[in-house]
């Protein structure tokens, strides 16, 4: 089983990402259950805006789409900016939307029988707002969302230490969310491995 973590930080991979640090906590649990985990920093790729599966002219979204096709679990991670998900996360959702018409050998959307999750970090309010938007978008486009598919951490309002510096994983609430999210992602993905959504009427 494969899990793909799409980090929608505004930072490229040479920079430290608090969102990545929290995503890694989810990945650690999945790896103990022999799930192969891969993280992708979307900022490292050239992904134009648009509602399409391939914008041409060097568009690297098809590379990301292949990784999504090969994964059973897909987690989107985002920082908060002005109480919202990042512009990169919005772009990823738009590109997923533009790819939702692609089908597999059963004629189903390629996003069927994939389990979605969300990770959010930030120093301002808006984590639930950002997560709700991503959860709805993924589910609407064919992903299955298990119960409690979100883990988030918020620091105090305003400038201050972020997730890594604040050792946010020591937060009992966030640590509990990570464990529940990982367990539920794995459980639903395991169900799909032997009992996928039937293609009739889908």
Tokens 């597999």 label which residue? Answer: 104
Q: How far apart are CA 37 and CA 25, in angstroms?
A: 11
Residue 172 has pLDDT above 80, yes or no: yes
> How confident is the model over 122-147, as pLDDT tens digits?
988 899 999 999 999 999 999 999 99
The top-level CATH class assigned to 2-194 is alpha beta
DSSP β-bridge partners for residue 75: 5, 117
pLDDT at 18: 95
User: Rounded to the nearest 5°, which phi and psi values hold at 190?
Assistant: -65, -40
Q: Is the pLDDT assigned to residue 12 strictly greater than 80?
A: yes
> What digits encode the pLDDT tens for the residues 96-106?
999 999 999 98
Residue 156: the pLDDT is 80
Domain boundaries, the chain: 2-194
Q: Considering the entire predicted model, what is its pTM?
A: 0.95
Contact present, 20 and 9 (Cβ < 8 Å): yes
Neighbours of 65 (CB within 10 A): 18
């Amino acid at each position: 089983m494969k899990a793909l973590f799409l980090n929608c930080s505004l930072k490229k991979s040479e920079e430290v990402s608090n969102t990545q640090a929290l995503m890694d906590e989810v990945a650690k649990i999945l790896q103990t259950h022999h799930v192969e985990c891969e993280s992708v920093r979307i900022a490292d790729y050239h992904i134009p805006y648009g509602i399409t599966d391939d914008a041409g002219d060097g568009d690297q979204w098809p590379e990301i789409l292949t990784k999504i096709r090969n994964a059973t679990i897909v987690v989107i991670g985002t920082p908060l900016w002005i109480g919202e998900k990042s512009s990169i996360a919005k772009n990823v959702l738009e590109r997923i939307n533009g790819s939702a018409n692609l089908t597999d050998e059963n004629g189903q959307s390629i996003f069927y029988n994939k389990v979605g999750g969300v990770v959010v970090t930030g120093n301002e309010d808006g984590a639930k707002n950002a997560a709700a938007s991503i959860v709805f978008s993924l589910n609407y486009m064919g992903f299955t969302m298990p119960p409690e598919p979100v883990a988030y951490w918020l620091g105090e309002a305003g400038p201050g230490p972020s997730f890594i510096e604040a050792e946010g994983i020591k937060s009992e609430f966030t640590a509990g969310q990570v464990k529940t999210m990982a367990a539920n992602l794995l459980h639903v993905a395991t169900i799909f491995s032997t009992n996928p959504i039937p293609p009739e009427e889908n």
